[in-house]
Chain A
Amino acid sequence: MRLKVWGARGSVPAPGPEMNRYGGNTSCVEITLASGEHIILDAGTGIRTLGLDLTSSPHVNILLTHLHLDHIQGLMFFPPCFRADADITIWGPASPEASLEDRVARYISAPLSPVEVRELPCDVSFRDTPPSEWQLGSATIRCEAINHRGPTLGFRITDGDTTLCYIPDHEPALGTVLADNEPEWISGYDLARDADLLIHDCQYADDEYPLHVGWGHSGMTDSLTFASRVGAQRLLLFHHDPLHADGFLDDLHAAARRRWAELGGDSASVEMAREGAVLDVEPVAAPAGISGA
Chain B
Amino acid sequence: MERMAAQKPLELILARNLLTSISTPAFLVDQDAALVFYNEAAGALLGRSFEDVGRMSPEDWTSTYGPFKANGQPVELDELPTTRAVRDGRPAHAVFTIRSANGGKQEIESSAFPIVASEEGSSGAMIFFWPHDRSGRASP
Q: Which A residues form the contact surface with B (CB < 8 A)? A: 96, 144-147, 174-176, 182-187, 189-191, 193-194, 229-231, 286, 289, 291-292
With contacts A175-B21, A176-B20 taken as known, whether A291 is within 8 angstroms of B10 at the C-beta atoms is no
Identify A175's interface contact among B1, B7, B18, B119, CB under 8 A: B18
Chain B interfacial residues counted at CB < 8 A: 20
Q: Considering the chains assembled together, what is the distance between the CA atoms of A183 and B4 in angstroms?
A: 6
Specify the main secondary structure of chain B where it touches its partner. Answer: loop
The reply to whether B1 and A194 form a contact with Cβ atoms under 8 Å apart is yes
Q: Which of B76-120 contact A (CB under 8 A)?
A: 117, 119
Set of chain A residues within 8 Å of B1, measured between Cβ atoms? 193-194, 230-231, 286, 289, 291-292
With contacts A96-B119, A175-B21 taken as known, whether A147 is within 8 angstroms of B4 at the C-beta atoms is no
Identify A184's interface contact among B5, B20, B119, CB under 8 A: B5
With contacts A185-B8, A185-B13, A190-B7 taken as known, whether A291 is within 8 angstroms of B20 at the C-beta atoms is no
Since A176-B17, A183-B5, A191-B7 are in contact, a sample of 13 more A-B pairs with Cβ atoms closer than 8 Å, ordered by chain A residue number, is A145-B117, A147-B10, A147-B13, A147-B14, A175-B18, A175-B20, A176-B16, A183-B4, A184-B5, A184-B6, A184-B7, A231-B1, A286-B1
CB distance from B111 to the nearest CB of A (A): 21
The reply to whether A184 and B4 form a contact with Cβ atoms under 8 Å apart is yes
Q: Considering the chains assembled together, what is the distance between the CA atoms of A96 and B112 in angstroms?
A: 24
Set of chain A residues within 8 Å of B16, measured between Cβ atoms? 176, 185
Q: Which of B6-61 contact A (CB under 8 A)?
A: 6-11, 13-14, 16-18, 20-21
CB distance from B91 to the nearest CB of A (A): 19
CB distance from A144 to the nearest CB of B (A): 7
Q: Which B residues form the contact surface with A (CB < 8 A)? A: 1-11, 13-14, 16-18, 20-21, 117, 119
Identify A229's interface contact among B2, B3, B13, B119, CB under 8 A: B2
Identify A146's interface contact among B2, B10, B17, B20, CB under 8 A: B10
Residue pairs across A and B with Cβ atoms less than 8 A apart, 22 shown, are A144-B7, A145-B10, A147-B10, A147-B13, A174-B14, A174-B17, A175-B14, A175-B17, A175-B21, A176-B16, A176-B20, A183-B3, A183-B5, A183-B7, A184-B6, A184-B7, A184-B8, A185-B8, A185-B13, A189-B4, A289-B1, A292-B2
* Chain A residue nearest in CB terms to B120: A131
With contacts A145-B9, A146-B10 taken as known, whether A182 is within 8 angstroms of B17 at the C-beta atoms is no
CB distance from A56 to the nearest CB of B (A): 40
The reply to whether B13 and A183 form a contact with Cβ atoms under 8 Å apart is no
Nearest first, the 4 closest Cβ-Cβ pairs linking A and B are A175-B17, A183-B4, A190-B7, A231-B1
Q: Considering the chains assembled together, what is the distance between the CA atoms of A190 and B119 in angstroms?
A: 23
Set of chain B residues within 8 Å of A96, measured between Cβ atoms? 119
Q: Considering the chains assembled together, what is the distance between the CA atoms of A289 and B5 in angstroms?
A: 21
CB distance from A233 to the nearest CB of B (A): 10
Set of chain B residues within 8 Å of A230, measured between Cβ atoms? 1
The reply to whether A183 and B17 form a contact with Cβ atoms under 8 Å apart is no
Q: Considering the chains assembled together, what is the distance between the CA atoms of A187 and B17 in angstroms?
A: 11
Set of chain B residues within 8 Å of A292, measured between Cβ atoms? 1-2
* Chain A residue nearest in CB terms to B17: A175
* Chain B residue nearest in CB terms to A175: B17
Q: Considering the chains assembled together, what is the distance between the CA atoms of A229 and B7 in angstroms?
A: 14
